[in-house]
Amino acid sequence: MPSLDVIEVLDWFDANARDLAWRKPGTTGWGVLVSEIMLQQTPVARVEPIWLAWMARWPLPSSLAAVSQGEVVRAWGKLGYPRRALRLHAAAGVIAAEHNDVVPADIDTLLALPGIGAYTARAVAAFAYGQRCPVVDTNVRRVVARAAHGAGDAGPPSTTRDLADVEALLPADPATAARASAALMELGAVVCTARAPRCGDCPVVSSCAWQRAGRPAYDGPAKAVQRFAGTDRQVRGLLLDVLRGSTDPAPKTRLDLVWSDACQRDRCLHSLVVDGLVEQTEDGRFALPGEHRQGVTK
DNA sequence: CAGGCGTGGGC
DNA sequence: TGCCCAAGCCT
């Protein structure tokens, strides 16, 4: 009873891989890193046009590092979680200054950069540099949970255990292992999906433990529900959207229009300033950071 | 370590 | 603006 034959998944991937922009030959480590940061919690379709624009405008870490934080946040557009843009900008500065403008290949060095965690560090090491290391995202966790463990979905993440779990599945050859990781992710993204898996299209359906078990429903602890409407996240998004939309600093009266609850509004504006996503100008207006002289943080 | 952090598409 | 989901990271 084979648990999960990644070679089968690899063969399927060779024939069915999506033609994503960052998978083109010649994509640099920088290109891979930018794509991975943008793809965190964000669908491929929304990322692709932004990634292409960024690569054309900022082909090197140093080119991104050279512009203001505000420009970067503005170019991030509506990808969401704009703190990612700030962290990527900071990482680019470190890469330019300390790593000769080349994205590091060493996992621990990558982990030391802002915004790069267990997944992204290994994704860069594997996809940009062909290293043999487990690359575990939500797709891989789901595929392994089903095909190997026979569960309806993955349980709560545990980085240490998840990494060991997937490491054991990887082929010995580094380049093949790296492609196998991409293949597992792709399978989870387009076939072994969370909601309605297309098992009829799955290359490992015949050996899938979840199939064998009769496709039982997920029986683990309930996953935390992420509310959005009415949260600070929504209000922060509305505030930032105003500032992205104008090159001139906005008076607070303009920002007051986006949300009726003044208390929540002010709390969110303040938190944006604390996060470095917003600056207050000398005359008391608000703007994206670094685009106007001496922002006053208060 | 559970919860905070954007945004939009699918149903 | 109901609910779930999408290549996570940070504190």
Between A133 and A3, the more confident residue is A133
* Separation between Cα atoms, residue A130 and residue A126, nearest integer Å: 5
Residues A259 and A272 sit within 8 Å (Cβ to Cβ): no
The H or E element containing residue A61 is helix A61-65
pLDDT of residue A293: 61
Condensed to tens digits (0 to 9), the pLDDT of residues A228-251 reads 999 999 999 999 999 999 999 999
Q: From the candidates A36, A71, A279, A291, which is the catalytic residue?
A: A36
The answer on pLDDT for A195 being more than 70 is: yes
A233 touches strand C (CB under 7 A): no
Structure tokens at A229: 């409407």
Q: Give A291's pLDDT tier (boundaries 50, 70, 90).
A: confident
What's the whole-number mean pLDDT along residues A166-172?
97
| A51 and A112, same domain (yes or no) | yes
pLDDT of residue A292: 81
A36 is catalytic: yes
Domain-embedded: residue A224:
no
Domain-embedded: residue A8:
no
Residue A183 is part of a domain; what is its CATH number?
A: 1.10.1670.10
| Structural domain that includes position A114 | 28-127
* Separation between Cα atoms, residue A145 and residue A57, nearest integer Å: 40
Q: Give A142's pLDDT tier (boundaries 50, 70, 90).
A: very high
| A32 and A117, same domain (yes or no) | yes
pLDDT of residue A75: 98
Domain-embedded: residue A278:
yes
| A192 and A155, same domain (yes or no) | yes
Condensed to tens digits (0 to 9), the pLDDT of residues A204-223 reads 999 999 999 999 999 888 88
pLDDT of residue A298: 43
Distance A238 CA to B2 C1' (A): 26
Specify the nucleotide whose C1' lies closest to residue A228 (CA).
C1
The answer on pLDDT for A111 being more than 80 is: yes
Condensed to tens digits (0 to 9), the pLDDT of residues A37-82 reads 999 999 999 999 999 999 999 999 999 999 999 999 999 999 999 9
Domain-embedded: residue A226:
no
A72, A102, A127: which is the final residue of a domain? A127
Domain-embedded: residue A11:
no
Distances (CA, A) of A26 to A149, A235, A241: 37, 40, 34
Count of structural domains within chain A:
3
Mapped to the 3 state alphabet, what secondary structure does A108-156 carry?
Answer: HHHHCCCCCCHHHHHHHHHHCCCCCCCCCCHHHHHHHHHHCCCCCCCCC
What's the whole-number mean pLDDT along residues A108-120?
98
| A47 and A117, same domain (yes or no) | yes
A32: left (phi over 0), alpha (psi -120 to 50) or beta: alpha
Domain-embedded: residue A280:
yes
A180, A212, A244: which is the final residue of a domain? A212
Determine the residue type at A223. Answer: K
Distance A222 CA to C2 C1' (A): 19
| A115 and A33, same domain (yes or no) | yes
The answer on pLDDT for A296 being more than 80 is: no
| A47 and A105, same domain (yes or no) | yes
Specify the nucleotide whose C1' lies closest to residue A82 (CA).
B6
A218 touches strand C (CB under 7 A): no
| A178 and A246, same domain (yes or no) | no
Residue A51 is part of a domain; what is its CATH number?
A: 1.10.340.30
Domain-embedded: residue A201:
yes
| A46 and A89, same domain (yes or no) | yes
Q: Give A2's pLDDT tier (boundaries 50, 70, 90).
A: low
| A248 and A166, same domain (yes or no) | no
Residues A274 and A295 sit within 8 Å (Cβ to Cβ): no
The answer on pLDDT for A297 being more than 70 is: no
| A142 and A119, same domain (yes or no) | no
Pick from A45, A163, A180: which is nearest to A111 by CA? Answer: A163
Distances (CA, A) of A214 to A87, A111, A210: 44, 40, 6
Average pLDDT value over all residues in chain A: 95
Residues A153 and A146 sit within 8 Å (Cβ to Cβ): yes
Distances (CA, A) of A131 to A23, A121, A176: 16, 11, 9
A183, A212, A241: which is the final residue of a domain? A212
Domain-embedded: residue A254:
yes
Angle between helices A262-275 and A232-244 (to 10 degrees): 70
Looking at the DSSP assignment, which residues form a beta bridge with residue A280? Answer: A286, A296
The answer on pLDDT for A151 being more than 90 is: yes
